[in-house]
């Protein structure tokens, strides 16, 4: 039996040793086991199905560093000269009886714009008539008492009482006139002669009627403008200047103006005001250009470009072809090839519009490669990824 036991022990030992050997197809793990996963894609990398790449027909270009022109283009909009502009509202709530001017009418200062009717004005005028009558009677009473007091027919105390009543009547008259003056209807005209509740709304300035917000029979409210009037002999062009350009601007600096609506024509103006508050989203501030407009060609609302000479001389800037810069959500982006089917997304700061190129103020460096043709389609894929929170997955 001993030989058999020895053989059995030998066999058991060999079996145990074989169980401790590691299979070449298994990985030994230390600690809790974890599933194997692929390395995650960075959130700023967009992955495209390689089969889609031929359809994108992509072209690329390098980010270029070069000298910028000493003249910078600033986009903006023509508006009214606020120094010669008025929004005309009635002094009190009133019903519109007649409209005397229309849109585009040229009006003189104090010219009637509309005839209005207000019961409140009728009461105020009636109170003025009453106050005038009382003041007249009080003045006559004082004259009579003064004559009688001189002849010692009445006591001096009666004269003093009459003079006191005259002062009260004069105070009441001043108050009634003040009420009408506040309403702006202290003067009388043909309309008020027929109906004391009527008055004329007049233009405070000379200019052109840009807008009329009123209709006959409508109730015009004192807090709502019925007419917008502006003198268009001079207009203001408000443009948006990048902060680094704005610091080089000076008041009265000459500016050349062009408009898409008037090709081939140029206008001349001058910088009249430079803003002090920078818009944190666009990094621009407003610059106002004063622009003569003697023939009325320039109209509020027109878009225009101001060509402004800078004082600092030539600058070094980074530029990419305009199609390379795309808006994704709230950010401007460019895309760089990042291996087959992958594209690095760079948030960039968009600078000046240089015609066929765009200035880039941050996010890339000179020599970086960016997608030009095909960038718009990458933008669409990026927006899908942003919407699904799926930047790191194939589309």
Crossing angle (nearest 10°) for helices 119-150 and 156-183: 160
Residue with the larger pLDDT of the pair 239 and 151: 239
Does 16 score more than 50 pLDDT?
A: no
What's the Rg (C-alpha) of the chain?
Answer: 42
Contact between 363 and 353 under an 8 Å Cβ cutoff? The reply is: no
Does 266 score more than 80 pLDDT?
A: yes
Please tell me the number of Cα atoms within 13 Å of 136 on its side-chain side.
6
User: Domains in the chain, ordered, with CATH?
Assistant: 47-68+316-388 (2.40.420.20), 71-81+232-313 (2.40.30.170), 93-118+197-231 (2.40.50.100), 120-195 (1.10.287)
Among the listed residues 305, 380, 351, the one whose alpha carbon sits nearest the alpha carbon of residue 52: 380
pLDDT given at position 7: 37
User: For 159-182, what is the mean pLDDT?
Assistant: 84
Does 96 score more than 90 pLDDT?
A: yes
pLDDT given at position 154: 76
Q: What are the structure tokens assigned to 2, written together?
A: 């001993």
Please tell me the number of Cα atoms within 13 Å of 353 on its side-chain side.
11
Question: Which of 21-35, 61-75, 264-278, 289-303 has the weakest average pLDDT?
Answer: 21-35
Contacts of 359 (CB under 8 A, 6+ apart): 68, 317, 318, 319, 350, 351, 352, 353
Give the best-scoring range by mean pLDDT among 197-201, 303-307, 381-385, 388-392: 303-307
Strand pairing of 85-88 and 227-230? antiparallel
Contact between 90 and 222 under an 8 Å Cβ cutoff? The reply is: yes
Does 20 score more than 50 pLDDT?
A: no
The 10s digit of each residue's pLDDT in 380-393 is: 888 887 665 444 44
* Residues above pLDDT 90, as percent of the chain: 39
pTM value? 0.57
Does 18 score more than 50 pLDDT?
A: no
Does 298 score more than 80 pLDDT?
A: yes
Give the best-scoring range by mean pLDDT among 107-121, 148-162, 173-187: 107-121
Measured CA to CA, the distance from residue 269 to residue 80 in angstroms comes to 14
pLDDT given at position 152: 79
Q: What are the structure tokens assigned to 134, written together?
A: 């009382």
Q: What are the structure tokens assigned to 390, written together?
A: 């799926």
Give start and end residues of each alpha helix (H) in the chain. 2-20, 53-56, 119-150, 156-183, 190-194, 243-246, 375-388
pLDDT given at position 29: 35
User: For 175-198, what is the mean pLDDT?
Assistant: 70
Q: What are the structure tokens assigned to 278, written together?
A: 């920078």
Does 142 score more than 60 pLDDT?
A: yes
Mean residue pLDDT of the chain comes to: 81
């Amino acid at each position: 039996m001993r030989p058999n036991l020895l053989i059995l022990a030998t066999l058991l030992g060999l079996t145990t040793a074989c169980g401790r050997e590691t299979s070449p197809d298994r990985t030994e793990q230390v600690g809790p086991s974890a599933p194997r996963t692929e390395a995650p894609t960075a959130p700023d990398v967009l992955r495209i199905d390689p089969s889609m790449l031929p359809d994108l027909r992509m072209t690329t270009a390098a980010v270029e560093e070069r000298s910028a022109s000493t003249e910078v283009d600033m986009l903006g909009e023509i508006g009214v000269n606020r120094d010669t502009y008025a929004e005309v509202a009635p002094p009190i709530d009133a019903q519109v009886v007649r409209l005397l001017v229309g849109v585009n009418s040229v009006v003189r200062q104090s010219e009637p714009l509309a005839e209005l009717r207000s019961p409140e004005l009728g009461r105020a005028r009636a109170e003025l008539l009453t106050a005038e009558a009382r003041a007249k009677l009080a003045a006559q009473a004082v004259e009579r008492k003064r004559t009688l007091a001189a002849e010692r027919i009445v006591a001096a105390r009666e004269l003093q009482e009459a003079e006191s009543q005259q002062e009260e009547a004069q105070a009441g008259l001043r108050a009634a006139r003040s009420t009408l003056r506040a309403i702006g209807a202290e003067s009388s005209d043909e309309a008020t002669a027929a109906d004391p509740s009527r008055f004329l709304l007049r233009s405070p300035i000379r200019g052109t009627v840009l807008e009329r917000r009123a209709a006959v029979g409508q109730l015009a409210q004192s807090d709502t403008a019925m007419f917008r009037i502006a003198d268009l002999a001079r207009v203001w062009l408000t443009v948006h200047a990048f902060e680094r350009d704005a610091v080089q601007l000076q008041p009265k600096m000459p500016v050349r103006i062009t408009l898409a609506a008037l090709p081939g024509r140029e206008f001349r103006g001058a910088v009249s005001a430079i803003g002090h508050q920078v818009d944190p989203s666009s990094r621009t501030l407003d610059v106002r250009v004063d622009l003569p407009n003697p023939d009325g060609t320039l109209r509020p609302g027109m878009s225009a470009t101001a060509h402004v000479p800078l004082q600092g001389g030539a600058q070094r800037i980074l530029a990419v072809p305009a199609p390379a810069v795309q808006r994704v959500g709230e950010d401007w982006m460019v895309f760089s090839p990042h291996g087959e089917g992958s594209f690095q997304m760079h948030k960039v700061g968009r600078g000046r519009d240089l015609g066929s190129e765009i200035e880039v103020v941050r996010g890339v460096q000179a020599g970086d490669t960016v997608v030009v043709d095909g960038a718009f389609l990458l933008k669409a894929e990026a927006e899908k990824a942003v919407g699904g929170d799926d930047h790191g997955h194939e589309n």
